[in-house]
Amino acid sequence: MAKTMIAAQLYTVRDFMKTPEDMAKSLMKVKEIGYDAVQLSGNGPISDKELKKLCDDAGLIIAATHVGFEEIQNEPEKVIEQHNIFECPHVAIGGLPGEYRGAEGYAKFAKIASEAVKKLYDAGFDFSYHNHSFELEKFGDRTGLQILYEESDPKYFLSEIDTYWIQHGGGDPAAWIKKLKGRAKLTHFKDMAIKGGQQRFAEVGEGNINWTAVLDACKYAGTEWMIVEQDVCYERDPFDSLAISLKNIKSWGIN
């Protein structure tokens, strides 16, 4: 795992990323916790150059982003310019646009996206798809997620497997990461706990996901970035949750 790095998904602290002043303070906190990289998502309005400067000032690499697929499809030059400013090679989307959520839609999106992201690829960037659990609904003998990856071009359509959402949908996170060997440059590290009979987001290492299997899968698949995210922090400040997750990951021998 020597080449794998750890990043914080800023969606975790989105409530503290509303203004440029908030962003500056929050990015410094993320750095003080011990992260050296972030994934951009959920921040308030700010220019790309100003956001990059705030990350630089905090000593944080922009490892990846989440952008809207419409931007990629309709304004690829803008997305390329933005990621050149960020010095960030990994472009991802946060989920499947609603109009494609059906048996035919998954296959259609796989082909449309594979074609749309070629301009990004030619400019030196790659594209990854971030899943939730709805993609694990079956259509015939295949899940939506299977359709996406089997019908897309593996050269252009990469993965950002979210461990929580795969488990939430009844899947095996490690098996999915392994299945996508060579396409799994980004992986969302997100744990699942049970409380009162309900599934809950948890700090990495504090829930029930089989992290030994996930780490082995990431090594096998060639994961470059383990991106820590927690959608909801029920019992503590989100920065404290990010700190607990990082401490646990480092205790597994990953630095």
Q: What is the tens place of the pLDDT at every residue in 14-69? A: 999 999 999 999 999 999 999 999 999 999 999 999 999 999 999 999 999 999 99
Give 204-215 pLDDT, tens digit per residue.
999 999 999 999
Indicate if the pLDDT at residue 101 is higher than 70.
yes
Question: pLDDT > 90: what percent of the chain?
Answer: 97
Indicate if the pLDDT at residue 1 is higher than 80.
no
User: Alpha-carbon distance 179 to 221, whole Å?
Assistant: 8
Query: Helices 20-33 & 48-58, crossing angle to 10 degrees?
Result: 30
Q: Which letter, b or e, does each residue of 118-132 get, where b requires 16 or more Cβ atoms within 10 Å of its Cβ?
A: eebeeeebbbbbbbb
Stretch 239-251: mean pLDDT: 98
Residues 68 and 79: beta-carbon distance below 8 Å:
no
Q: Label residue 4 by pLDDT band (50, 70, 90).
A: confident
